[in-house]
Amino acid sequence: MNNTISNPGVAAVFDGYPPTLRRRLMQLRQLIFDTAEEIDGVGKLEEELRWGDW
């Protein structure tokens, strides 16, 4: 499981969520990484803040 969030801003947002929600979001995040890894042509994913989450 990819538990390390390399973008400090994204990590801070995740850290601000309640533990139960954060666990669910980390599961969703892992699903995204796993799916991308299985699709040919998808390069390295970059995590960024969108929609005013900063």
Domain range for 30: 8-38
Cα torsion 2, 5, 31, 28: sign: positive
- Residue 47 in any domain: the answer is no
DSSP string, 3-35: ----SHHHHHHHHTS-HHHHHHHHHHHHHHHHH
- Residue 2 in any domain: the answer is no
- Residue 31 in any domain: the answer is yes
- Residue 14 in any domain: the answer is yes
Q: Which tens digit of pLDDT belongs to each residue from 5-28?
A: 999 999 999 999 999 999 999 999
- Residue 44 in any domain: the answer is no
How much is the pLDDT for 32?
94
**Domain count within the chain:** 1
- Residue 48 in any domain: the answer is no
Contact (CB, 8 A) for 49 and 10 = yes
On the question of pLDDT at 1 being above 80, the answer is no
